[in-house]
Structure 1
Amino acid sequence: MNEAKFDELLTMVTPLIQKENTMMRDALPARVKLQIILRHLATGDCFGSLEALYRVPRCSISSFFEAVCEAIWIVLRDFIKVPQSESEWRKIMNSFSKMWNFPNCCGAMDRKLVKIRCPPNSASEYFYYKKNFSIILFAVVDANYNFIYIDVGTNGRANDTCVFEKSTLNEAITANLLNIPNEGVFVADDAFPLKTNILKPYNTRGEFNEKHKVFNYRLSRARRVVENAFGILVAKFRIFEKPIPLTVSKVEQLVKTTCALHSWLRKITPNINLQHLLQREDWEKGCIIPGERRQVPSEAIVGIPQTRLGNHTENARRVRNMFAEKFITTNIVPWCDAS
């Protein structure tokens, strides 16, 4: 973030975070508060290090941390926006078709664990495998690595179906409130349910033919945008390098804030070259080239072991089969055989 963008953000949040001076002391300037919080998010510096750098007591930093994060979220949350019109959805669908060769795709969805310190009086609720405590970040991303929906805060013990089924996005889709075109679908991994509007890979066990292989490749290629979006998030905000030693409410606010900052920066600086961070394909050799984001350690945002969901309707299977057939007949990509 350059100085001009910092000043732009400062102008937006100042009315929400600037306190009045009193007879006893002058209030800490909004500029300093914002500098401290952005540095904490970008570098992962602990409150003790920030205290030494800015000469602001760590107890004060802790006291305004959540308020500043909430202010950033309030002014930037519209940059994470679920489309409400058919034309907006078709714009995303056209981008997925043009950039990732997947027609009718409205978004790529995934979920990650965000590791936290053990919450008081609710340890088992947030306890997950390998003795970790966590909350879940569920997100949907457009073709340009922008978050268009996030759900933060479900405890780490919840299963993947529960996370999606209880999300406000699923409620809106089920109630047909979003004007999604009838042919629109979302791409996801095995952890999500197969539905007429959610596509996931074919099971490689049992009957698995060339058509299934091509479909899985094309779906994986489209779904890579959400993996890359999480990768960019981790690369830009080093706070995610280690489990976050904050309370659940502060971590929830932190995650929402970083996602909003990510989408804001992506949209106001769309021409910044991120290719060095991203996974990309060598079509001649038929292999994936890891991006530099893979070299950034992240112990705070991690994948969730997949649990395959086998129950789905005949209509859901029919829609997936229709896409699979299309990918070997009318919508072929020339490099697919090399993959």
Structure 2
Amino acid sequence: MRDAIPARVKLEVTLCFLSSGISYRLLAIFFRISKSSISKFIPEVCDVMYEALDEYLQVPDNREWEDIQVGFHHRWNFPGCCGAIDGKHVVIQAPPNCGSEYYNYKGTNSLVLLAVVDHDYCFKYVDIGSYGRNSDGGVFQAFSLYPVLENGSLLPEGGFLVGDDAFPLKTYLLKRYPNEPTIVEKIYNYRFTRARRIVENAFGILVSRFRVLALPIQLQEETAIKMIRTTCVLHNWLRKSSLHTYTPPGSIDYEDIVNFTTNLGTWRSEINALPSIARSRINNR
């Protein structure tokens, strides 16, 4: 009878999978553990990690929302903002007999990760599992926080989120001015872009650090959702506990205040350096 796999080894295997995205087959070779054992314990370890770190991914209370507003005001000169919202398609293998439900506008099958991000690139709420064929706006209407946003009980009075053109304009959800704006509207658009760029960078850092999200995932939907959720809470924990190791200077977009330009973060080149989705996949059958 084989010895039980130590918890430390299970954690190492799971973190290796999340950070690299290599297949269960290769993990089995590297760690000398059966593929069937790996497929069983990785979802379990993801559950344990999420439960251990769930304090890092909680819906803010009123005081925490106000702290986030202060952060957006001081760092991004956008007072009143409680977060930036956006959706990301995580490419998966479509479940059997699902038709076109997961088929998105990019021509792949995906689950949608919808997230609200604070002024410091941390996820404050994530909603995972909407079908890829839905637009950000459609996913937003199915968002579990949508009812409390609509009735005004979630955010502080006057608080709002910022989103791109895929989202509907609401009193609590602001967008850019379209077309050719006035000088005042241009200033607003400039500040808006700085605030909304936060969520783009948060997703970019997440994918560049947890490369399992950058490749097509061939796992059961339930396992894929657990995995995505765990990467989000790990992202927040690492932002709080190992800031300069996890996101060293230059990894996130930053402004050159002398030349009035935006320098792109290194996460962009790191993601571009990943193998093409057309040539690579995480096949865990």
TM-score for the superposition, normalised by structure 2: 0.90
Pick the aligned partner of 1:131 from 107, 115, 118. Answer: 107
Contact 2:109 2:132 in 1 (8 A): yes
Residues 1:275 and 2:249 are matched in the alignment: yes
Matched residue type, 1:209: T
CA separation in 2, counterparts of 1:275 and 1:230? 17
User: Hey, what does 1:52 align to over in structure 2?
Assistant: 29
Query: What is aligned with 1:189?
Result: 164
Q: Which amino acid aligns with 1:241?
A: A
Residue aligning to 2:267: 293
SS of alignment partner, residue 144 of structure 1:
coil
Cα deviation, residue 286, structure 1: 2.8
| Alignment equivalent of 2:16, drawn from 19, 33, 39 | 39
**Using the alignment, how far apart are the partners of 1:123 and 1:132 within structure 2?**
13
Shift in Å, 1:54: 0.8
* Range with bigger deviation, 182-191 or 207-216: 207-216
8 Å contact kept, 1:278–1:293: yes
Q: Tell me by how many angstroms 1:224 deviates.
A: 1.1
Q: 2:65 aligns with which of 89, 100, 105?
A: 89
Q: After the TM superposition, which of the residue ranges 105-114 and 155-164 deviates more from structure 2?
A: 155-164
Matched, 1:68 2:55: no
Match of 1:263 in 2: 236
Deviations 1:243-297 (A, max 9, x none): 2222222211111010011011112234555332111122333322111101122
- In 1, Cα distance between equivalents of 2:162 and 2:41: 39
| SS in structure 1 at match of 2:36 | helix
Deviations 1:174-215 (A, max 9, x none): 34443x2211111111111111111101112xx522222211
Of 70, 87, 94, the residue aligned with 1:111 is 87
Report SS of the residue matched to 1:168. coil
Task: Map 1:145-294; keep pairs closer than 5 Å.
Answer: 145-178=121-154, 180-204=155-179, 208-270=181-243, 272=245, 274-294=248-268
Quote how far apart the aligned CAs of 1:72 are. 1.4
> Aligned partners of 2:106, 2:82: CA distance in 1, in Å?
34
- The CA distance in 1 between the partners of 2:26 and 2:191, in whole Å, is 46
Q: Give the Cα–Cα distance (whole angstroms) in 2 for the partners of residues 231 and 244 of structure 1.
A: 18
Q: Aligned partners of 1:142 and 1:245: how far apart in 2?
A: 31
Question: Could you tell me how far 1:28 is from its partner in structure 2?
Answer: 1.6
Q: Structure 2: which 5+ residue stretches go unaligned?
A: 278-285
Instruction: Say if 1:82 and 1:149, in contact at 8 Å, map to a contact too.
Output: yes
The percent identity for this pair of structures is 42
Q: What is the rounded CA distance, in whole Å, between the counterparts of 1:248 and 1:147 in structure 2? A: 22
- Count of residues in Structure 1 that have an aligned counterpart in Structure 2: 274
Question: Structure 1 CA distance, aligned partners of 2:166 and 2:78?
Answer: 20
Q: Of 109, 115, 122, which residue of structure 1 is paired with 2:98?
A: 122
Residues in 2 aligned to 1:25 and 1:57: alpha-carbon distance in whole angstroms: 11
Amino acid at match of 2:161: F
In structure 2, distance between residues paired with 1:164 and 1:155:
12
Conservation of the 8 A alpha-carbon contact between 2:80 and 2:158: yes
- Give secondary structure in 2 for the equivalent of 1:139: strand
Contact 2:65 2:156 in 1 (8 A): yes
Instruction: Output the CA distance in 2 between the equivalents of 1:265 and 1:297.
Output: 19
Distance 2:152 2:190 in 1: 30
Checking the alignment, whether the CA contact within 8 Å between 2:104 and 2:134 is kept in structure 1 is no
Return the alpha-carbon distance in structure 1 between the equivalents of residues 225 and 128 of structure 2: 6
8 Å contact 2:83–2:117 — kept in the other structure?
yes
Q: Which amino acid aligns with 2:76?
A: W
Cα deviations across residues 109-160 of structure 1 (Å, max 9, x unaligned)?
Answer: 1111111112211131111124310010000011111100000000001122
Q: TM-score of the superposition, structure 1-length normalised?
A: 0.76
| Rg larger for | 1
SS in structure 1 opposite 2:271?
Answer: coil
Q: CA offset at residue 78 of structure 1?
A: 2.3
Instruction: Give the superposition deviation at 1:71.
Output: 1.7
Contact 1:111 1:137 in 2 (8 A): yes
